[in-house]
């Protein structure tokens, strides 16, 4: 049954992709087998990460960039990582509302996913979603992150090209300079460039780049207005240039190795945590352990040691 689903995804059947994405996000056996079946057919799409502070216009830029790519005849997959509801742990799905103009376009496939508290604003299955859209045949896969903090360097472990958005007159310029997030940028975008302070922010970012370590790729700083489309064509050109640079310089191989290591380590951490919780009494046991830590009955490192020790008492199975 999974082989049939994989064949349908590879043929570009939208219903099959939707089913596969749900199976992968839910971590079902079918989802895992599907990913195994299609993995060898991936690596062709240009995966673009869009990240930046909340309110910087990530969804608007994603929407306008998608329109540009569609105008060029390219197909686009969008993985929009929404903040999780604190009650249901489900995605708020705001991006689906903001990007509704694309729903009738067969060349665009949008999937909103809950971050579920994932570090870096990426859900644990964001990588799998991007893989499936790649296997489905989308030319461009855009991954838009939550933008909930300054630790979104996780996107660099997934994307081929990463766009970091900043906006003027909000204080984000100062925050960005203090954060390590700029180190993951392949393109710096000053969005809402019609606002006062855009030129100042652009100059600050260029100065910051000049003080950093030399890189083979010269990171461009682009001004844009996602709402009007100004600067979006320049952004698309910069992304294409970066993809060409990766291929021609030999950096693509190093990037693929870094991505593979990052993805394997992340999945390993998730699987080990899941198995440690299961082997120590399930979620109830985990909650009891957390309560002991909160009451100062045991320190966090010792509690983690109890969990990891429980793995040695049970066989590890798939």
pLDDT of residue 280: 83
136 or 112, higher pLDDT: 136
**Taking residues 139-153, what's their average pLDDT?**
73
Structural domains present in the chain: 1-40 (no CATH), 42-248 (3.40.50.300), 261-311 (no CATH)
pLDDT of residue 208: 85
pLDDT of residue 92: 46
**Taking residues 307-315, what's their average pLDDT?**
72
Give the Cα separation of 24 and 32 in Å (integer).
Answer: 6
Residue 170 confidence class, pLDDT cut points 50, 70, 90 = low
Of the ranges 102-111, 234-243, 249-258, which is most confident? 234-243
Q: What percent of the chain has pLDDT over 70?
A: 82
Tell me: the pLDDT tens digits for 73-106?
A: 999 999 988 765 443 444 445 545 556 677 778 9
Burial of 115-140, coded b for 16+ CB within 10 Å and e otherwise, reads bbebebbbbbbbbbbbbbbbbbbbbb
**Residue 187: pLDDT above 50?**
yes
pLDDT of residue 87: 37
**Taking residues 249-261, what's their average pLDDT?**
92
HSE of 232, CA atoms in CB hemisphere, 13 A: 22
pLDDT of residue 151: 43
Q: Which two tokens stand for residue 17?
A: 């992709």
**Taking residues 227-248, what's their average pLDDT?**
96
The pTM score is 0.86
Tell me: the pLDDT tens digits for 4-34?
A: 999 999 999 999 999 999 999 888 999 999 9
214 or 297, higher pLDDT: 297
Residue 147 confidence class, pLDDT cut points 50, 70, 90 = low
**Residue 135: pLDDT above 50?**
yes
91 or 187, higher pLDDT: 187
pLDDT of residue 91: 42
Looking at every residue in the chain, the average pLDDT score rounds to 84
pLDDT of residue 318: 47
The closest of 151, 146, 61, 161 to 112, measured between CA atoms, is 146
CB 299 within 8 A of CB 292: no
Q: What is the 3-state secondary structure (H, E, C) of the chain?
A: CHHHHHHHHHCCCHHHHHHHHHHHHCCCHHHHHHHHHHHHHCCCCEEEEEECCCCCCHHHHHHHHHHHHHHCCCCEEEEEEECECCCCCCECCHHHHHCHHHCCCCCEEEEEEECCCCHHHCCCCHHHHHHHHHHHCCCEEEEECCCCCCCHHHHHHCCCEEEEEECCCCCHHHHHHHCHHHHHCCEEEECCCCCCCHHHHHHHHHHHHHHCCCCCCCCCEEECECCCCECHHHHHHHHHHHHHHHHHHCHHHHHHHHHHHHHHHHHHHHHHHHHHHHHCCHHHHHHHHHHHHHCCCCCHHHHHHHHHHHHCCCCCCC
């Amino acid at each position: 049954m999974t082989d049939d689903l994989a064949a349908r995804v590879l043929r570009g059947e939208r219903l099959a992709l939707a089913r596969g994405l749900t199976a992968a996000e839910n971590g079902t056996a079918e989802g895992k087998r599907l990913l195994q079946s299609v993995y060898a057919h991936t690596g062709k799409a240009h995966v673009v990460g869009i990240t930046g502070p909340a309110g910087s216009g990530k969804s608007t830029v994603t929407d306008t960039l998608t329109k540009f790519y569609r105008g060029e005849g390219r197909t686009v997959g969008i993985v929009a990582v929404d903040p999780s509801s604190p009650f249901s742990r489900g995605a708020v799905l705001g991006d689906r509302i903001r990007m509704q103009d694309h729903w009738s376009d067969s060349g665009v496939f949008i999937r909103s996913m809950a971050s579920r508290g994932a570090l870096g604003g990426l859900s644990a299955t964001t990588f799998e979603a991007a893989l499936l859209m790649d296997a489905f045949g989308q030319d461009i896969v855009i991954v838009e992150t939550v933008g909930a903090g300054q630790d979104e360097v996780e996107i660099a472990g997934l994307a081929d090209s990463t766009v970091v958005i900043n906006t003027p007159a909000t204080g984000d310029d100062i925050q960005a300079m203090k954060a390590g997030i700029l180190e993951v940028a392949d393109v710096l975008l000053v969005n809402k460039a019609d606002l006062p302070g855009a030129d100042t922010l652009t100059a600050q970012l260029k100065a910051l780049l000049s003080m950093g370590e030399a890189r083979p790729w010269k990171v461009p700083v682009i001004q844009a207005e996602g709402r009007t489309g100004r600067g979006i064509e320049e952004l698309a050109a910069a992304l294409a240039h970066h993809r060409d640079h990766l291929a021609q310089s030999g950096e693509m191989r190093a990037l693929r190795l870094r991505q593979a290591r990052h993805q394997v380590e992340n999945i390993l951490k998730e699987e080990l945590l899941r198995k440690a919780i299961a082997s120590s009494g399930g979620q109830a046991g985990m909650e009891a352990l957390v309560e002991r830590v909160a009451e100062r009955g045991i320190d966090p490192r010792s509690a983690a040691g109890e969990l990891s020790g429980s793995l040695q008492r049970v066989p590890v199975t798939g």
